[in-house]
Amino acid sequence: MAKIFYETDANLDLIKDKTIGIIGFGSQGHAHALNLRDSGCNVMVGLYPGSKSWQQAQEAGVRVGTVEEVAREADIVMILAPDQAQRQIYVDSIEPGLRAGKMLMFAHGFNIHFNQIVPPADVDVTMIAPKAPGHRMREMFVNGVGVPALIAVHQNATENAQQIALAYGKGVGCAKAGIIETTFAEETETDLFGEQTVLCGGVTALVKTAFETLVQAGYQPEIAYFECMHELKLLVDLMHEGGMAYMRYSISDTAEYGDYTRGPKVIDDHVRQQMKQVLNNIRSGAFAREWIIENQAGRPSFLALRRQNQEHMIERVGAELRGMMPWLQKREAGPATQAPHAPAPATAEPADGDRGYRSPTAAFSPPVEPYTPPEEETPPTPSYGSTYQPYRPTTPAEGEDDDRSFQ
Tens digit of each residue's pLDDT (9 = 90 or more) over 263-300: 999 999 999 999 999 999 999 999 999 999 999 999 99
257 domain-assigned: yes
Indicate if 210 and 105 belong to the same structural domain.
Answer: no
Of the listed ranges 173-182, 193-202, 267-276, 362-371, the least confidently predicted one is: 362-371
324 domain-assigned: yes
* Max CA separation in the chain (angstroms): 67
Asked if residue 168 has pLDDT above 50, the reply is yes
pLDDT of residue 393: 35
Indicate if 322 and 240 belong to the same structural domain.
Answer: yes
Asked if residue 155 has pLDDT above 50, the reply is yes
223 domain-assigned: yes
Domain enclosing residue 61, as ranges? 4-182
Q: In 3-state terms, the chain is what percent helix, strand and coil (to 5)?
A: 50, 10, 40
379 domain-assigned: no
293 domain-assigned: yes
334 domain-assigned: no
Indicate the residue among 159, 182, 205 that finishes a domain. Answer: 182
pLDDT grade for 329, boundaries at 50, 70 and 90: confident
Indicate if 210 and 137 belong to the same structural domain.
Answer: no
pLDDT grade for 332, boundaries at 50, 70 and 90: low
Indicate if 36 and 112 belong to the same structural domain.
Answer: yes
| Integer Cα distance of 121 and 208 in angstroms | 47
Residue tagged active-site, from 108, 230, 312, 341: 108
Of the listed ranges 23-27, 314-318, 357-361, the least confidently predicted one is: 357-361
pLDDT of residue 333: 65
Indicate the residue among 284, 310, 328 that finishes a domain. Answer: 328
Indicate if 196 and 68 belong to the same structural domain.
Answer: no
pLDDT of residue 327: 85
- Residue 56 sits in a domain whose CATH number is 3.40.50.720
108 is known as an active-site residue: yes
358 domain-assigned: no
Of the listed ranges 131-135, 179-183, 354-358, the least confidently predicted one is: 354-358
Indicate if 162 and 213 belong to the same structural domain.
Answer: no
CB atoms near residue 324 (< 10 Å): 8
Asked if residue 362 has pLDDT above 60, the reply is no
Asked if residue 148 has pLDDT above 50, the reply is yes
Indicate if 89 and 32 belong to the same structural domain.
Answer: yes
Indicate if 281 and 317 belong to the same structural domain.
Answer: yes
282 domain-assigned: yes
Q: What is the DSSP letter of 198?
A: I
Indicate if 11 and 156 belong to the same structural domain.
Answer: yes
Neighbouring residues of 396: CB distance < 8 A, sequence distance ≥ 6: 300
Provide the edge-to-edge strand list for the sheet that holds 76-79: 4-5, 179-181, 149-155, 124-130, 103-106, 76-79, 19-23, 42-47, 63-66
Q: Is pLDDT larger for residue 205 or for residue 393?
A: 205
Across the chain, what does the average pLDDT equal? 86
The 10s digit of each residue's pLDDT in 43-100 is 999 999 999 999 999 999 999 999 999 999 999 999 999 999 999 999 999 999 999 9
Indicate if 174 and 105 belong to the same structural domain.
Answer: yes
Asked if residue 197 has pLDDT above 90, the reply is yes
Indicate the residue among 309, 328, 347 that finishes a domain. Answer: 328
Indicate if 55 and 110 belong to the same structural domain.
Answer: yes
Neighbouring residues of 162: CB distance < 8 A, sequence distance ≥ 6: 126, 151, 153, 156
Number of domains in the chain: 2
Indicate if 121 and 198 belong to the same structural domain.
Answer: no
